[in-house]
């Protein structure tokens, strides 16, 4: 009889503690994840902070903290994580009453991208492991991994030629209403540039030096469409690195840069675009945009890009008009939960149409970075560069790829060989 009473009491106690545990186990329990760095470059190391706090009298003998993030952020330690389509991690803690646990996890950034952690799963067991409890906490921490640098030595020729074109055009086009300085007269100077007031004051002929009539800028066109049966990620990633390196080189020299791509932004689902600008903040915006570009699988036609009617937001993005209320072109959730793929030809056609409706002298030079060798692509790009002679096409290709592009009339073509093993 006594044994039966003891067993019944023990069973009642276990059930009671299980009920109490399930009711109070997550009271005062918080878990936070925070990336220490806002941004890094592929190949760099980063840190993720874990903070678990138990603000109550009830101990948690076993607490599993589970979360997932991008597969290309690889933790330095060997255990507690599994990489498949994502990087899944599960840490085990023992939280005593009124205890806070802090841990810093080191990882390596294997590939550029936008990495976001949206939730944390907590799993715990009662004092006698009679039952388990599960809770999901919202989290909102993210990190940018910028594309690595391309070889600047190999880029020296196209960049110097581009800079020469900009300086030559600025020297030819002057604003007759804005004087930059005054200098002595030379035999080739027209008399209409003589500054008679300065001439009378100094006793020798002086002429006005006028400021450039327009501010030249460069638009980089990044093509993410693949002509192969499968997407060659090395080619597309090298194209992204070229975009970032060329943008950085020009911004360092005060040249405004815009970026336009048919690669979709992972946040909006729209083709990526950033208007011309300069300075460190604009360079940071370009690098973040390049980090958010997602790779498409297969050709753009496989996604219905050639047949699907363009959305209102897509038209606004490439026509210079404002989007409809509630639609963000740079940040926010994906529009209609899907990505809007377009071909590079369609993108070029929109830019040609946009330029034809604008007034004044075209002060934009174009750099297209595309591994495609379609005749239609070359035709559209040549048409875009008709008024921007000196523009360039950078062609990333494999060593055994045959060059099939006919010579361009209004742009220079530079081949960029991408080895099968990147050093």
Report the distance separating Cα 413 and Cα 99, nearest Å. 64
Q: What is the pLDDT of residue 345?
A: 92
Residue with tokens 């030249």: 216
- Give pLDDT tens digits for 237-254: 999 999 999 999 999 988
Task: Rank 9-18, 289-298, 330-339 by mean pLDDT and report only the highest.
Answer: 289-298
SS3 percent helix, strand, coil of the chain, rounded to 5, is: 30, 35, 35
What value does the mean pLDDT take over residues 194-222?
A: 79
- Local confidence band at 196 (pLDDT 50, 70, 90 cut-offs): confident
Between 83 and 53, where is the model more confident? 53
Please tell me the total number of residues recorded for the chain in this structure. Answer: 423
Residues 143-153: tens digit of each pLDDT: 999 999 999 99
**Which pLDDT tens digit goes with each residue over 48-63?**
999 999 998 888 888 9
pLDDT tens digit string along 266-309?
A: 998 899 999 999 999 999 999 999 999 988 644 443 334 343 43
Looking at residue 296, its pLDDT comes to 60
Give the orientation angle of helix 312-319 with respect to helix 344-356, to 10 degrees. Answer: 60
Q: Are 31 and 64 contacting, i.e. CB atoms less than 8 angstroms apart? A: no
pLDDT in the model for residue 418? 92
What are the boundaries of each domain within the chain? 28-146, 156-169+214-417, 174-212
Residue 202, pLDDT above cutoff 90: no
Give me the residue label for tokens 């080739």. Answer: 188
Q: Residue 255 and residue 160: Cα distance in Å, rounded?
A: 13
Confidence band, pLDDT 50/70/90 cuts, at residue 174: low
Domain 28-146 in this protein, CATH class: mainly beta
CATH class of residue range 156-169+214-417: alpha beta
Q: What is the mean pLDDT of residues 85-106?
A: 90
**Global pTM value:** 0.79
- DSSP secondary structure string for all residues of 165-203: HHHHHHHH-EEEEEEEEEEE--TTS-GGGB-HHHHHHHS
């Amino acid at each position: 009889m006594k044994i039966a009473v003891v067993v019944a009491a023990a069973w009642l106690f276990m059930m009671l503690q299980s009920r109490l545990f399930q009711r109070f186990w997550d009271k005062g329990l918080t878990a936070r994840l925070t990336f220490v760095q806002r941004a890094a470059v592929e190949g760099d190391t980063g840190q993720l902070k874990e903070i678990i706090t138990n603000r109550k009298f009830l101990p948690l003998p076993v607490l599993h903290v589970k979360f997932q993030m991008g597969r290309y952020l690889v933790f330095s330690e060997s255990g507690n994580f599994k990489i498949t389509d994502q990087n899944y991690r599960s840490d085990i803690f023992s939280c005593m009453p009124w205890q806070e646990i802090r841990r810093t996890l080191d990882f390596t950034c294997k590939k550029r991208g936008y990495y976001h952690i949206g939730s944390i799963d907590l799993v715990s067991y009662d004092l006698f492991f009679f039952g388990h409890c599960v809770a999901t906490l919202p989290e909102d921490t993210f990190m940018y991994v910028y594309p690595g640098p391309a070889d600047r030595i190999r880029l020296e020729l196209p960049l110097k030629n581009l800079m020469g074109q900009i300086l030559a055009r600025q020297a030819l086009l002057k604003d007759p209403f804005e004087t930059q300085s005054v200098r002595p007269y030379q035999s080739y100077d027209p008399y209409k540039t003589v500054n008679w007031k300065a001439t009378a004051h100094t006793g020798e002929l002086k002429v006005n030096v006028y400021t450039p009539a327009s501010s030249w800028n460069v638009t980089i066109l990044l093509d993410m469409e693949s002509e192969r049966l499968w997407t060659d990620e090395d080619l597309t990633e090298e194209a992204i690195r070229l975009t970032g390196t060329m943008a950085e080189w020009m911004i360092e020299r005060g040249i405004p840069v815009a970026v336009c791509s048919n690669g979709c932004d992972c946040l909006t689902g729209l083709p990526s675009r950033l208007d011309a600008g300069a300075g460190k903040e604009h360079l940071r915006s370009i690098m973040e945009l390049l980090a958010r570009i997602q790779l498409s699988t297969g050709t753009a036609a496989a996604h219905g890009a050639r047949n699907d009617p363009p959305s209102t937001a897509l038209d606004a993005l490439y026509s210079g008009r404002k989007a409809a209320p509630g639609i963000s072109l740079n940040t926010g959730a994906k529009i209609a939960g899907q990505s809007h793929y377009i071909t590079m030809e369609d993108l070029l056609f929109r830019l040609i149409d946009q330029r034809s409706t604008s007034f004044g002298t075209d002060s934009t030079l174009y750099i297209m970075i595309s591994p495609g060798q379609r005749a239609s692509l070359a035709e559209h790009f040549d048409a875009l560069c008709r008024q921007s002679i000196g523009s360039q096409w950078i062609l990333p290709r494999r060593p055994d790829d045959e060059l099939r592009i006919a010579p361009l009339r209004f742009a220079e073509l530079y081949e960029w060989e991408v080895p099968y093993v990147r050093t």
